Structure 1
Amino acid sequence: MPATPASDDLREGSGARALLRLATPVVASRLGIMAMGLVDTVVVGRYSSAELGYHALAWAVTGVVLTTGLGLLSGVQVMTSQAIGEGREADTGAILRRGLVYAGWIALAAALFLAVTGGPMLHAFGLSAGLADGATPVLQVQAVSLIPIIVADAGLFWLEAHGRAVPGMLAMWAANVVNLIVNLWLVPGGNFLGVDGAVASGWATFASRLFLLVLLAWIILSWRRARELGVLTPAPRAPHAAQAMRRVGYGAAASYFIESLAFSAMAIFAGWISITAVAVWAVVINVAAVVFMVPLGLSVATSVLVGRAYGARDQVGMLQSAGQGFAFTTAVLLAVSVGVWLFPEGIAAAYSRDAVVIAGIASAMILSSLFFVADGLQVVAAQSLRARSDIVAPTATHLFSYVVVMMPLAWWLGVRQGGGVDGLIWAIVIASTLSAVLLWGRFAWLARRPLVPLAQPRAA
């Protein structure tokens, strides 16, 4: 089958060039996702430290649901990449259509679940009544904003699997401009909504995510190849294909749920320590999440190339793609870690005007730089394993590393032993290193086994 324009973007040049060509806009797009959270955190934090705590606690719960929902949709990207590798690019429109329907149901269920249970959940965590009451309305607004972002990301994942990451990146950053403008308008108060602080920031996020959904829909529908790929044609009934897409998503969602739940538990532990610890942890996790978007983007690019090679049964290409993802992730995150370690005070001053909070943030940032590389390598390994249809191992590894090891260790070091936020961070360092070693060991072990040829192309 002749190479199509979508495929040519990634097949030209060396494997390293193909990885960078896709990874650069994907990383920029993922940074755009977190830039929304960064803007929300900075604007709210400079408005009020108390509102920053409400925002952080609400996001601790919302983030678990969002990342789990996005994990469920990862099958859209994996199945699209494998279909292209198998020479079935014309089937990928059907994958997108099934993915969008699936995303709509996930989004509605997630929003309804949080809107109804979010407030009682915060109170059940044993937080002070003031913290839980302040965070509840913020969480309810964030629940509504899940609907457009989950549906939009199904389209974004599909575009990236086709090597069209640049349009998605541009859409994401356009949405960030909208988010910044609306945040600056709504958060200080005096707006027509009659709300301010963290609640107002939640509505700004909703507006920007809705804008992103509309823009991505236009990008996909206006692509000249949309019709030949089947985007405009109802997807044929194919239960096995739909099941295969969901099965990939189940594994990724379980991993994302486990990891995000474990990290959100840290916010609860911080709430047990002090209100200052909550504010410090909010900044630590926000910076770490922004940094994490770099390896997450590299993991997407790596998994697309690994998935295509796996679909084509190209063992050498699959190993080269994974190895290049490992090398680039290590190099980039080492540089980022050094930068954070050298300039912690500058980062702290950007988030708060409270001298006590600034001092706590600066100290925590130095320690946080120790886990960036390990955390990045473990996500690249996990995505590479899923791209070659190894679904269970990443989930089992994350369960062991982040629930069995990290959560009890964080409670012991941070709360029980009085280590504060530093104790929480040491638990992350240990768990992320363990996860990275186990996952890359799994990939290396599988690399020694020959790939079984496909008997026939799988249905879309």
Structure 2
Amino acid sequence: MTAADQPDSNARARRPDDSPESGTESGTDNNMEGTYGALLRLAGPNVASRLGIMAMGLTDAIVVGQYSAVELGYHALGWAPTSTVLVAGIGLLMGVQVLTARHIGAGRPELTGAVLRRGVVYAILLGIGATLLLTLLGPVALGVMGLEPDLARGASAALIIFSLSLTPYLVADAMWFWLEAQGRPKVPMVAMWLANGLNLLLALWLVPGNSPFPVSGAVAAGWVTFFARLSLMLMLGWWIWRWPVAHAVGVFRKTPPAPPEAREQRRIGYASGISYAIEAGAFSGMNFVAAQLGVMVVAAWAVVLNVAGVVFMVPMGIATATAIFVSRAVGARDVRAVRRAFAMGMKLALAVLFLLSILMALDPALVARAYSADPDLVAMASGALLLAAIFFMADGAQVVASNALRARGDIWWPTGMHVVSYLLLMIPLSWWLGIARGHGLDGILWAVIIASLVSGGGLVARFLWLGDRMRTSLG
């Protein structure tokens, strides 16, 4: 199965569940796929779900930042390695959604229970392995990176606690993907926002040190994240347990081994997992470049990274919808529809991001003050956010183009562009501009802007080039 099949399979998987009894809408309209309305209807739920993911980390960063700018630096450095591992794990679990959708589309829903069972096992193994690795090696790595001793100790303590929440979150993601493919995307969306509510309440109680427990700051935020992610896993597991379809398709019934399908389930996630890890790892690595410039620069970069991550969820949702439309057009061998879907997704993403960039430029200090009351941090973060607005559009272009490329079967080109842009270009350039040339945080941001422009430009050019080849092959 190629990447071109995957978004279309997910869309087909929802159709059998669009019965009046299910009360679920398909979210698609084959007769309206050439309109912006159809694109928005598909992108909207995706954006809402992905914003829920970002809201959890954003809440913790804001509460910790209001408590202490120094603790926000600990939080950023402790969060960075775990987020990279988590994103890679999510990519590796994409096979759950794809194989579930494939079986439903092929009229074999009874095989989808085994897919989830394998996915949960993979998630547990990935989570436990990552937790052990980060707990044992994470503090050692932070200690030999030349960080200030207090910064390394504070970040290490937060890192260990954050790593404990990887297993429940990855298990929750396996169930999340499975439910989306089964035509129940609202279930994980609601569960995620309920978990966010719990996360906020616990953060306000634990982070300032007001609870009877001897924790505060970044370490408290780690425990808050653990309990919020655990609640997400339990809510999704409870819903699946009570869903009759889950029992009917064998989620809770042992099935005979299927080695070929198990290998396929793992293989599907490799390309996306590697790509996700590269991008997330590169941006997390920028925390350590910032750390060479002091804890205040780390805290300001953490503000920028959180805001950029929230903004990124908007083009990510649009990119997912665009990929579905591109995939259907490829399946229909309609070159004009492929180009139209890509153009619509790109224009919509850039238009929305342009508006968000303008809003950011109007009062970046307002956003910065949401993270901290420290006047020095607010001043530094405000200038950085103004500059960061430049790369919002470039980052949106690259995610729309990379998803569209995967939708048409060009799986590895986006991964290659991420290697070139973010590993080979962005990190060395950020060190050279920020440290060697003495431009500080501004130098780091210019490195991000340049890398995003290179990635976006290369991916868009690739898509257009393949469009010409596709016309020849179909002609």
TM-score, length-scaled by structure 2? 0.87
Kindly provide the amino acid, as one letter, of the partner of residue 460 in structure 2. Answer: W
Correspondence for 2:93: 73
Query: Residue in 2 aligned with 1:379?
Result: 399
How far is 1:225 from its partner? 3.7
Amino acid aligned to 2:359: G
1:278 is aligned to 298
Gapped regions of structure 2 (runs ≥ 5):
1-11, 19-23
Distance 1:273 1:262 in 2: 18
Distance of 2:131 and 2:90 partners within structure 1: 13
Alpha-carbon offset, residue 247 of structure 1: 2.0
Equivalent residue runs for 1:366-405 within 5 Å: 366-405=386-425
Shift of 1:58: 0.6
Moved more, 300-309 or 429-438: 300-309
What are the within-5 Å matches in structure 2 for residues 11-410 of structure 1?
Answer: 11-12=28-29, 14-15=32-33, 16-83=36-103, 91-227=111-247, 229-304=249-324, 306=326, 321-410=341-430
Deviating more after overlay: 338-347 vs 236-245 = 236-245
Residue 435 of structure 2 corresponds to which residue in structure 1?
A: 415
RMSD: 2.7
1:82 positional shift: 4.9
Question: Kindly tell me: are residues 326 and 232 of structure 1, through their superposed partners in 2, closer, same or farther at Cα, counting changes over 3 Å?
Answer: farther
> Residue 78 of structure 1 contacts residue 304 of structure 1 at CA under 8 Å; is this kept in 2?
no
* Deviation sequence 1:178-210 (CA, Å, 0-9, x none): 000011111111423311111011101111111
Are the equivalent residues in 1 in contact too, given 2:206–2:221 (CA < 8 A)? yes
Against the structure 1 CA distance between its residues 341 and 10, is the aligned structure 2 distance closer, same or farther, given a 3 Å change threshold? same
SS of the residue corresponding to residue 421 of structure 1 reads helix
Identity of aligned residues (%): 49
In structure 2, the residue matched to 1:458 is none
Aligned with 1:5 (options 9, 17, 23):
17
- Structure 1 residues 115-161: Cα deviation after superposition (integer angstroms, max 9, x where no partner): 11111111122111110011111000000011111111122122333
Distance 1:150 1:317, change over 3 A: farther
CA distance in 1 between partners of 2:297 and 2:345 (Å): 35
For 1:339 and 1:254, locate their aligned partners in 2 and report how far apart those are by CA, in whole Å. 34
CA distance in 1, matches of 2:256, 2:328: 23
Partners of 2:42 and 2:256 in 1: CA distance: 30
SS in 1 for 2:27: helix
Superposed CA deviations along residues 353-402 of structure 1, whole A, max 9, x for unmatched, are: 11111111110011000111111221232233334443321111100011
Aligned-pair CA distance for 1:435: 0.9
CA distance, structure 2, for counterparts of residue 44 and residue 201 of structure 1: 7
Q: Report how many residues are paired.
A: 452
2:457 is the alignment partner of 1:431: no
Q: Is the 8 A contact 2:345 2:400 kept in 1?
A: yes
Moved more, 215-224 or 403-412: 215-224
In the alignment, what sits opposite 1:455?
A: none
Q: Which residue of 2 aligns with 1:443?
A: 463
Is the 2:16–2:104 Cα contact (8 Å) retained in structure 1? no
Structure 2 CA distance for partners of 1:230 and 1:385, relative to 1, 3 Å = farther
Match of 1:454 in 2: none
Larger mean CA deviation between 21-30 and 346-355 belongs to 21-30
Change (3 A) 1:313 1:338: same
- 1:457 is aligned to none
User: What corresponds to 2:4 in structure 1?
Assistant: none
Name the TM-score, length of structure 1 as normaliser: 0.90
> 2:423 and 2:268 mapped to 1: Cα distance?
21
Query: Are the counterparts in 2 of residues 248 and 386 from structure 1 also a CA contact under 8 Å?
Result: no
Q: Is the 8 A contact 2:158 2:218 kept in 1?
A: yes
Q: Residue 357 of structure 1 aligns to which amino acid in structure 2?
A: L
Cα distance in 2 for residues equivalent to 1:61 and 1:283: 17
Q: Letter of the 1:9 partner, please give it.
A: S
Alpha carbons 1:310, 1:318 under 8 Å: kept = yes
Secondary structure class of the residue paired with 1:226: helix
Letter paired with 2:166: L
How far the C-alpha of 1:242 sits from its partner, in A, is 2.5
Q: CA deviation at 1:269?
A: 1.1
Structure 2 CA distance, aligned partners of 1:240 and 1:391? 21
